[in-house]
């Protein structure tokens, strides 16, 4: 199975609306199903986004090595760049302030962002903030007379509800398709760090990234994000980020320009029938708490090992993905209401999300070849926590030695000189194995690569 996040594509598009079960309109005495009245109100709020970026082309790593260049008398190499383009869609959420909600992958690394409105206007946009982990971004456009979409409560969606997917690829008009909600709460797909997708069979086409998924009242229920494409084409399985999740993230992006995720200070595992039997529980859905960090928010709130979390802020928690997603959209300092079962009794526990502690240090403090990078540990709020060990690059200064070597913010250093590293002490020990070149094993997304410094 191939899961596809939309990438730039230009093609012929059309308006297609499924007919079964849709509202009727009496025309010449014959009732005809139509979504036209609703779409007339909704489509002006769905915009096209086009971006321009400068992509650095890869050179042979040896050409970046100062010792190699000095030995052969080569001049200082300058990174070559080519111009890149990206196309996608967006949804106007706040008409007064010009806020447009879209996917992070639509605007990632963009130097220029242009928004094409339904009325033909083209305006330059500024990035307000982005969250790569949830693939959500907010941009702002300085335009008057905008129309915004109302956000629905996506928690009220049910499998079988009719929905309409709307996108607006660059310069070629809009695409409108309809279908139903096929499933809810889809996660574990490996598309994003935080996954709580709406699955729909409404045909979602390339170029619809960041576009709207609306209900038949014309309210936004999701942001179209990805499709399952075994053969590279649409097979009727699309995914959208729920509007409630997008709303929470947008609030932080507008307020802070970033997502300030917090932590609870617990570890847990998804409850199953075997564990439920062992703990003498009459249910088998929830998160069994296996450890509580001393002094952390959960500990101060009174949580205990063996507690089973079955709800958070009024929403059911069935597995660890539910709990992690619910906490992942909340900012540090927010209070949460946890519904917990302890020894057969129902409890409500109020806890405060705390900011994750993260040790930061500059690479040049340990070795001159690590100049330009700031490293830290993988914290509990990271989607890689518990799955990958290593040190994360929190910053890589543009133009620095490590930047020119190809290292970027978000890379995970899993080993140095073929020695695993999990903290500063292990990194320092591994660096002492060489006086010259430093061999890094890097985890970047789903890829792994070696970088020689």
Q: Is 209 assigned a catalytic role?
A: yes
Q: How far apart are CA 12 and CA 235, in angstroms?
A: 18
> 155, 154, 123, 160: which is closest to 140 by C-alpha?
123
- The length of the chain is 453
β-pair partners for 267: 291
> 154, 141, 174, 51: which is closest to 105 by C-alpha?
51
Helix (H, G, I), strand (E, B) or coil at 345: strand
Using CA atoms, how far residue 390 sits from 288, 383, 404, 407, 425, in Å, is 27, 13, 22, 15, 12
Q: How far apart are CA 360 and CA 412, in angstroms?
A: 14
Using CA atoms, how far residue 8 sits from 49, 85, 86, 87, 291, in Å, is 11, 7, 5, 5, 44
Helix (H, G, I), strand (E, B) or coil at 348: strand
Catalytic residue among 50, 65, 86, 105: 105
Return the C-alpha torsion angle 400, 401, 402, 405, nearest 10: 120
Q: Is 367 assigned a catalytic role?
A: no
Q: What tokens appear for 370 in the block?
A: 């690590």
End-to-end Cα, the chain, rounded Å? 37
Q: How far apart are CA 10 and CA 206, in angstroms?
A: 8
Determine the number of helices (DSSP H) and then strands (DSSP E) in the chain.
9, 28
Q: Is 142 exposed, middle or buried (0-12, 13-18, 19+ CB in 10 A)?
A: exposed
β-bridge pairing 81-94 and 46-56: antiparallel
Catalytic residue among 65, 135, 201, 307: 135
Helix (H, G, I), strand (E, B) or coil at 301: helix
Would you give the DSSP letter of residue 39?
H
Q: Is 425 assigned a catalytic role?
A: no
By the 8 A CB rule, do 167 and 10 touch?
Answer: no
Catalytic residue among 50, 182, 209, 297: 209
> 189, 124, 334, 359: which is closest to 248 by C-alpha?
334
Helix (H, G, I), strand (E, B) or coil at 445: coil
Residues that are catalytic: 105, 135, 209
């Amino acid at each position: 199975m191939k899961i596809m996040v939309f990438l730039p594509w230009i093609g012929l598009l059309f308006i297609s609306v499924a007919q079964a079960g849709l509202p009727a309109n009496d025309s010449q005495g014959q009732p005809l199903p139509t979504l036209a009245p609703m779409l007339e109100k909704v489509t002006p709020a769905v915009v096209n986004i086009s971006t321009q970026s400068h992509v650095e082309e890869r050179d042979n790593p040896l050409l970046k090595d100062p010792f190699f260049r000095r030995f052969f008398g080569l001049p200082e190499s300058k990174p070559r760049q080519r111009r890149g383009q990206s196309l996608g869609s967006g949804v106007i959420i706040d008409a007064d302030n010009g806020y447009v909600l879209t996917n992070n992958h639509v605007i990632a690394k963009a130097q220029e962002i242009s928004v094409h409105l339904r009325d033909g206007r083209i305006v330059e946009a500024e990035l307000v903030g982005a969250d790569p982990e949830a693939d959500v971004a907010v941009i702002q456009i300085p335009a008057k007379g905008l129309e915004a979409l109302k956000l629905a409560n996506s928690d009220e969606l049910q499998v079988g509800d009719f929905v309409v997917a709307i996108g607006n690829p660059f310069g070629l008009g809009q695409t409108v398709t309809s279908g139903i909600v096929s499933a809810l709460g889809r996660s574990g797909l490996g598309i994003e760090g935080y996954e709580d997708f709406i699955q729909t069979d409404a045909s979602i086409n390339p170029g619809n990234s960041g576009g709207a998924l609306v209900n038949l009242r014309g309210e936004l229920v999701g942001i179209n994000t990805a499709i399952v494409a075994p053969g590279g084409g649409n097979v009727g399985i699309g995914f959208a980020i729920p509007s409630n999740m997008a709303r929470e993230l947008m609030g932080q992006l507008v307020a802070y320009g970033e997502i300030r995720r917090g932590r609870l200070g617990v570890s847990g595992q998804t409850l199953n029938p075997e564990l439920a039997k062992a703990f003498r529980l009459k249910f088998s859905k929830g998160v069994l708490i296996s450890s509580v960090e001393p002094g952390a928010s959960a500990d101060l709130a009174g949580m205990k090992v063996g507690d089973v979390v079955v709800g958070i802020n009024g929403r059911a928690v069935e597995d660890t993905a539910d709990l992690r997603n619910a906490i992942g959209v909340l900012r540090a300092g927010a209070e949460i209401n946890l519904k917990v079962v302890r020894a057969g009794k129902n409890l409500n526990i109020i806890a405060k999300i705390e900011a994750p502690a993260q040790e930061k240090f500059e690479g040049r403090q340990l070795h001159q070849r690590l100049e330009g990078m700031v490293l830290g540990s993988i914290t509990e709020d990271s989607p890689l926590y518990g799955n990958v060990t290593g040190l994360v690059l929190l910053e890589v200064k543009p133009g620095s030695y490590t930047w020119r070597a190809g290292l970027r913010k978000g890379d995970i250093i899993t080993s140095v000189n073929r020695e695993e590293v999990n903290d500063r002490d292990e990194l320092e020990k591994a660096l002492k194995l060489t006086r010259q070149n430093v061999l890094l094993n890097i985890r970047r997304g789903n890829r792994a690569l070696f970088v020689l410094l």
